[in-house]
Amino acid sequence: MKRVCAIIFVLTLLILSACDSDSGRRLSINSKKFIPYKGHEWLIFKSDQGEKDTIKLSGYEDFYTAVGSVSHYTNYETYRLNCLWPLHNAGDSLKSKKYLISVSVAQTGKTDVSFSYDDWSKYYHFWSNEDLDSIYKRNKEVVQIGSNVIADVVRIRNQELGTSAPTYMSIIYWSMTKGIIGFSLVNGTMWKLEKVISSAAN
């Protein structure tokens, strides 16, 4: 019996040693820097209608997803920033955690950037998945918010738009150094970042 157990143990070690956990599937430091937040800021936005709203960041997750068989698999890293949003009709006291943006290694070897935001108390919705390199190559826009001039802004378009959803987000304006500086809705309402409250002040 002991001999059988020893054989099983050796075979298990051989299987594990044959598994592919290629370090090349890890994200580069520069890829993670695409998300410029510390992780627990409050982002205060103001609309062109005078309304205010807040996105509350709730920290990072860094994890791997195994793809393949038990004997031969590859780990793909994902770096994700979460946020809190109120559940529809549940009041501000009840929150649900959802990621705001994630950077991950795709099976193609490229780096994917995924944006996702929902706030069903206001029927907001946004989803987009793009290649990081293509975002970096995109023409940068200059946006002025108050007295601040931000010169590294790109437009991220919603890839899930419905004709019956006027309050869906249509575009997120993303700064390479400051993150989300604004977003527009399908109905034409424009929201701009008014201020950021640091995690130390929360």
Q: What is the pLDDT of residues 12-36, one digit of tens each?
A: 444 444 444 444 488 888 899 999 9
Mean pLDDT, the chain, rounded, equals 79
Under the banding of pLDDT at 50, 70 and 90, the label for residue 9 is very low
Mean pLDDT on 2-18: 47
Give the rounded distance of the alpha carbon of 56 from its chain centre: 13
The CA-CA-CA angle for residues 201, 100, 194, to 5°, reads 50
- For the ranges 61-65, 90-94, 192-196, the maximum mean pLDDT occurs at 192-196
Question: For residue 54, what pLDDT is reported?
Answer: 84
Give the rounded distance of the alpha carbon of 199 from its chain centre: 18
Has residue 160 got a pLDDT over 90?
A: no
Q: Are strands 179-185 and 52-68 parallel, antiparallel or unpaired?
A: unpaired
If one compares 2 and 195, the residue with the highest pLDDT of the two is: 195
* Cα distances (Å, whole numbers) of residue 159 to 52, 141, 168: 25, 21, 11
Question: For residue 16, what pLDDT is reported?
Answer: 46
Has residue 129 got a pLDDT over 70?
A: yes
Q: Which of 53-67, 76-90, 104-118, 172-186 shows the lowest per-residue confidence on average (mean pLDDT)?
A: 76-90
Give the rounded distance of the alpha carbon of 159 from its chain centre: 15
- CB 44, CB 54: distance < 8 Å: yes
Mean pLDDT on 53-58: 87
Has residue 141 got a pLDDT over 90?
A: yes
Has residue 180 got a pLDDT over 90?
A: yes
Question: For residue 65, what pLDDT is reported?
Answer: 83
